[in-house]
């Protein structure tokens, strides 16, 4: 595990800009280890303080659109968890660069451009939220604790302060976005911003809506819907579905240790469902009769996203 984690942690650290004191304006990042030459896109990182005395310092990454940043949408992105750094989204999902997937040989990881990056057509703000995520931190013990509603208000305060230094984006179409657990927080953040607009709070934000990917919508009920979805998509057999319905009697999540048949069904369904979170990448090997399939899965451990991956050969 350490061989996989160390190079990724190194890349995470180089994104951070260390300030003598928290600063309102961010600073540009023009080079990254593992990427040859200067970055062909504009990256800015920094801290913005929120709370009564700026006791919560939120770290952010801002990447300008590579098309027309003056008119392209501005997307405010939150990664799920809660507690996963959006750096995982930047490197493995929708950012302008991605880590090259290859066997670790002791050298630094290399970065390549992502041809499918959202930043090709949109400006994006990625924020380490809630407090304690990624490089965000609190200056008091009390400020280390927050719930979804508190985080949403911090997100709105952050945004208003960010626009002070980036007023040229106030007229751009604005969207709040995220995935996974952000299915809970993104609608709250959007409502807080909408309420602020109705109350006349400045600056006025050109809010257009929100975007969600594989969102959590109900913390417990999602498990119930997953079973029906898995059957409908052909991920589980009709036999397994019928068995879970009969053995669990509608109580799929809290079925208790005494119901071993239901527990066995749920373990199998959970395993099958979890495979939908794997991303498979195909690379042609030197042997044209084989393809090397690489896969990875992101785990949130504390405030750092740990990427684990493996490989196997598939005969054609």
Residue 164 has pLDDT above 50, yes or no: yes
CATH classification at residue 163:
3.40.50.1820
**What local confidence, expressed as pLDDT, does residue 280 receive?**
34
Task: Find out whether 213 and 247 touch, Cβ atoms under 8 Å.
Answer: no
Q: What is the number of domains present in the chain?
A: 3
Residue 17 has pLDDT above 60, yes or no: no
Averaged pLDDT, 81-94: 88
Residue 126 CA to its chain's centroid (Å): 9
Q: Per residue in 161-193, is it b (16+ CB within 10 Å) or e — as a string?
A: bbbeebeebeebebbbbbbbbbbbbbbbbbebb
State whether 142 and 41 are in the same domain: yes
Task: Find out whether 176 and 126 touch, Cβ atoms under 8 Å.
Answer: no
State whether 36 and 117 are in the same domain: yes
d(C-alpha 231, C-alpha 93), whole Å: 27
State whether 26 and 80 are in the same domain: yes
Residue 316 has pLDDT above 70, yes or no: no
**DSSP letters for 252-295:** -SS--TT-HHHHHHHHHHHHHHHGGG-EEEEEE-SSTTEEEEEE
State whether 206 and 225 are in the same domain: no
3-class SS of residue 155: helix
State whether 197 and 265 are in the same domain: no
State whether 254 and 122 are in the same domain: no
More confident of the two residues 104 and 132: 132
State whether 158 and 243 are in the same domain: no
Give the chain's length: 316
State whether 164 and 303 are in the same domain: no
Measured in degrees and rounded to the nearest 5, phi and psi for residue 74 equal: -110, 120
Nearest to 162 by CA among 82, 64, 58: 58
**What local confidence, expressed as pLDDT, does residue 115 receive?**
94
Nearest to 272 by CA among 300, 241, 298, 295: 241
**What local confidence, expressed as pLDDT, does residue 108 receive?**
84
Q: In percent, how much of the chain has pLDDT > 70? A: 75
State whether 131 and 254 are in the same domain: no
State whether 26 and 132 are in the same domain: yes
Q: What is the pLDDT of residues 178-235, one digit of tens each?
A: 988 888 899 999 999 999 999 999 999 999 999 998 888 776 666 677 788 788 878 8
Beta bridge partners of 22: none
Phi-psi region of 256 (alpha: psi -120 to 50; beta: other; left: phi over 0): left
Domain that holds residue 230: 221-277
Question: Which of 19-28, 84-93, 100-109, 191-200 reaches the highest mean pLDDT?
Answer: 191-200
Averaged pLDDT, 55-61: 95
């Amino acid at each position: 595990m350490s061989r996989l984690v160390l190079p990724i942690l190194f890349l995470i650290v180089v994104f951070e800009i260390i300030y003598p004191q928290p600063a309102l304006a961010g600073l540009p990042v023009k080079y990254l280890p593992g990427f040859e030459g200067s970055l062909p896109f504009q990256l800015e990182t920094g801290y913005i303080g929120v709370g009564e005395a700026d006791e919560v310092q939120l770290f952010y990454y801002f990447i300008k659109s590579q098309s027309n940043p003056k008119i392209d949408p501005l997307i405010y992105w939150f990664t799920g968890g809660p507690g996963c750094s959006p750096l995982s989204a930047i490197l493995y999902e929708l950012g302008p660069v991605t880590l090259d997937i290859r066997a670790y040989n002791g050298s630094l990881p290399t970065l390549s451009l992502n041809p499918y990056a959202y930043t090709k057509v949109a400006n994006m703000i990625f924020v380490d939220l809630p407090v304690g995520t990624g490089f965000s931190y609190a200056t008091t013990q009390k400020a280390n604790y927050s719930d979804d509603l508190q985080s949403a208000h911090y997100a709105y305060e952050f945004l208003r302060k960010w626009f002070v230094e980036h007023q040229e984006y106030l007229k751009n179409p604005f969207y709040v976005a995220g995935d996974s657990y952000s299915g809970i927080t993104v609608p709250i953040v959007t409502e807080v911003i909408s309420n602020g607009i109705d109350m006349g709070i400045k600056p006025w934000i050109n809010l257009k809506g929100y975007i969600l990917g594989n969102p959590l919508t109900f913390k417990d009920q999602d498990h119930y819907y997953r079973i029906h979805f898995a059957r409908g998509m052909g991920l589980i057999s009709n036999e397994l579905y019928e068995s879970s319905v009969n053995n669990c009697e509608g109580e799929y999540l809290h079925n208790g240790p005494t119901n071993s048949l239901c527990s066995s069904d749920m373990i199998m369904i959970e395993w099958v469902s979890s495979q939908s979170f794997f991303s498979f990448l195909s690379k042609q090997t030197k042997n044209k009769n084989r393809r090397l399939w690489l896969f990875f899965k992101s785990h949130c451990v504390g405030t750092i996203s740990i990427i684990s991956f493996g490989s196997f050969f598939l005969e054609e």
